Amino acid sequence: MDRNTFTGLFLILIILVGSTYLMQPSDEDIKREKAKQTQDSLARVTKTKAAPSIPLPDTAKAVAAAAIDSTLIKSGPFGAAQSGSNEPVILENEFLKVRIDPRGGRISSVQLKNFKTYTQEPLIMFEGEGNKFGLIFGSAGQNINTNDLYFVPSGKSLSVAKSDSSSLTMRLTHSAGKYIDYIYSLKGESYNVGLTIATTGMQDVVAPTQQHITLNWESVLKQKEKDLPGEQKYSSAYYKQGDESIDNLSLSESETKALNEGKIKWFSFKQHFFSNVLIAKNSFDSGELTVNTSPDAGTVKSFAAKMQIPFQRQETSSFPMEFYFGPNQLNILEKQGFDIEKQIDLGYWPLKYINRWVVLPVFNFLEGFGWGYGLIILVLTILLKMVLLPLTYKSYLSMAKMRILKPEMDEIKGKVGEDNPTLLQQEYLKLYKKAGVNPLGGCLPMLLQLPIIMAFFFFFPNLFELRQQSFLWMEDLSTYDAFFKLGFEVPFLGNHISLMCILMTISTLIYTYFNNQVSGATGQMKYIGYITPIIFFGVLNSFPSGLNYYYFLANLMTFAQQYIIRMFVDDNKIHAQIQENKKKPASEKKTSGFQKRMEDYMRQQQAAKTKGAVEDKGSKKKLK
């Protein structure tokens, strides 16, 4: 740096320092400015006091009311609870890890320690800002929502041993001797968290017009299983009202439902395999439930509940409740009482009784041997096929008789022709009666088996025990096995092909082929038998691999049964028996009620047709 540059910078520095010193305000100027600020503050306070009071809404309106100015809230009820510590309290036992936040004094997240998501991450029932829990009521002209206020805990993190129990109190203070307590309790080896809401001295704090306080619980449930659309299909809000059976909101659409027809014992935010249930020991007086489908990736559904808690205007009052955070496993839910286990859909009547009192007890019995679930399903299939063997035998025998009669039926068809189907059916019925054959003998045994076949459509998709249980290439028997990943969506199939579903479909087509050989089916009935398995392939491709595995095994065992039955059934003996039946007098032949009704119906149809033909012929003669 040369001398001229240094001199210039030095002069600039002197000018800046001098101007700062000369332009600073005097002591008198500073006093005048402070006096002005004080006057402005007093004017703002006066303006605030002169503002009109906010009308007190009832509890329902308080839910939707706009937020009040934060400066007014801090100076109003619970003003001291507008801020506080953010350090959570942890309640923990062998099954649960429950986080309780001072803000709202609420359970902000629950981890099920013995389970993982499909990506093998910790299974969190709910967490995040989208989850809220609090009381809503009016006080001093304001709408209070305890979810936004800070509670003070009575202790730090608590870990509960197997046989122990412990409790924690979160307190929201209004003023001396006036407060709300959330009393949490937890036992070892339990999925239940007790919650008692206790109030002290709040009879003069809650608006005098309110007879209820609203309990508001909102929750956004994230994906836990591989098949998100499948998880959404089995997720909704369930509830039990009065002495009525449990009910639920829509499984496929968003819905809001008011519950005003009886006291509410419990309600549930149910996912496919896990549930968040709140049980009221003394029941809620009324309420409202909402379930919303979500377009957000990774979100199953969002839920909201607004329940009315009766508020007794006395010095102290309490409202005991209990949470259940756990699996939708039938034997565990049964222990909760109040029919909570009925939120597991085992099918409509009579399917649910078959699943509940036949299939499930056998399944649980086989579980006791400690086998893998692939082997359990195999043994279950064998046992059911053995029970159904008499029906399978009767069905095969009836179809064999119909096949042997086929040449005679073709001969009748050639004589009568196809122009008069009523007369043709009459002749067929005469042949059946002479031969002593029931045309529905092959259908009835199959119809009797149909409820069991259909019952498994509900049993396997809702069976918690199969969750994340692997067998062969199937990583999870409770969902589809994506053996072939397409990388794009195909209508009715999705973005994958299930290998077990392919094997099930191929075995069904082979079974249909051999079944047609036994029954002698022709025409449309023959081709319908081949089309049906193709349709079911599109339906079952996204169903649990355990279900397709069962149907595949059932087809293989049916092949084996028919092979064994064929060894003991001689077509020549059946033909000889039919010929002997033809020789018997009509009085010695038994006719089923169905056959008799069919014969009467055919005679009536033929008589009506003959009468109509005669009338038409007479009309034509008159015209001539």
Domain match, 543 and 494 both: yes
H or E element, residue 92: strand 89-92
Could you count the other beta carbons within 10 Å of the beta carbon of residue 328?
23
Q: What per-residue confidence (pLDDT) applies to 67?
A: 36
pLDDT, tens digit, 9 for 90 and up, residues 297-336: 899 999 999 999 999 889 999 999 999 999 999 999 999 9
Cα separation of 91 and 322, whole Å?
15
Q: What is the pLDDT of residues 382-432, one digit of tens each?
A: 999 998 888 888 888 888 888 888 888 888 888 888 777 778 888 888 888
The residue to which tokens 């402070």 are assigned:
34
Instruction: Report the DSSP pairing between strands 316-327 and 132-139.
Output: unpaired
Tell me the C-alpha distance between 406 and 202, whole Å.
87
- Shared-domain flag, residues 578 and 598: no
* Any domain includes 35: no
Q: What H or E segment, with its residue span, contains residue 490?
A: strand 482-490
- Which of 325, 344, 363 is the last residue in one of the domains? 344
Residue that wins the pLDDT comparison between 112 and 510: 112
The single-letter DSSP state of residue 420 is -
d(CA 69, CA 54) in angstroms, rounded, equals 11
| Lowest pLDDT segment from 130-144, 270-284, 384-398 | 384-398
Tokens at residue 134, please? 């609090």
Q: What angle do CA 181, 187, 189 make, to 5 degrees?
A: 150
Verify that 609 and 598 share a domain, yes or no. yes
Is the pLDDT higher at 45 or at 76? 76
> What is the overall mean pLDDT for the chain?
82
- 3 domain residue, yes or no: no
21 inside domain = no
- Do 365 and 258 have their domain in common? no
Mean pLDDT within 430-453: 77
Claim to verify: residue 240 and residue 129 sit in the same structural domain:
yes
Which of the four pLDDT bands, split at 50, 70 and 90, describes residue 433?
confident
- The DSSP result for 502-570, as a single string, is HHHHHHHHHHHHHHHHHHT--HHHHHHHHHHHHHHHHHHTTS-HHHHHHHHHHHHHHHHHHHHHHHH--
Residue 319 lies in a domain: yes
- Domain count across the chain: 3
DSSP state of 102: T
Q: Are residues 307 and 454 in the same domain?
A: no
SS3 of residue 339 by DSSP: coil
CB distance 424 to 412 below 8 Å: yes
- The token duo for 593 is 């009620």
| 584-622 pLDDT per residue, tens | 776 555 555 555 665 565 566 656 666 555 556 555 555
Report yes or no: 53 and 139 within 8 Å, Cβ to Cβ: no
User: Is residue 45, in this structure, part of any structural domain at all?
Assistant: no
232-276: pLDDT as tens digits:
999 999 999 988 889 999 999 999 999 988 899 999 999 999 999
- 88 belongs to a structural domain: yes
The answer on 423 and 287 residing in a single domain is no
| Domain's final residue, options 344, 369, 386 | 344
Quote the tokens at residue 358.
């036949």
Residue 396 lies in a domain: yes
| Phi, then psi, of 260 in degrees rounded to 5 | -125, 10
Higher pLDDT, residue 164 or 552? 552
User: Is there a single domain that holds both residue 369 and residue 308?
Assistant: no
Tell me the average pLDDT across 459-475.
Answer: 95
Q: What is the pLDDT of residue 312?
A: 85
Q: Say what the pLDDT of residue 608 is.
A: 64
Q: Are residues 296 and 149 in the same domain?
A: yes
Domain coverage including residue 607: 586-614
User: Is 280 found in the same domain as 313?
Assistant: yes
Helix (H, G, I), strand (E, B) or coil at 259: strand
**CB–CB of 329/112 below 8 Å?**
no
Least confident of 42-51, 338-347, 470-479: 42-51
**101 inside domain:** yes
Last residue of a domain, which of 315, 344, 373?
A: 344
**Are 410 and 332 within one domain?**
no
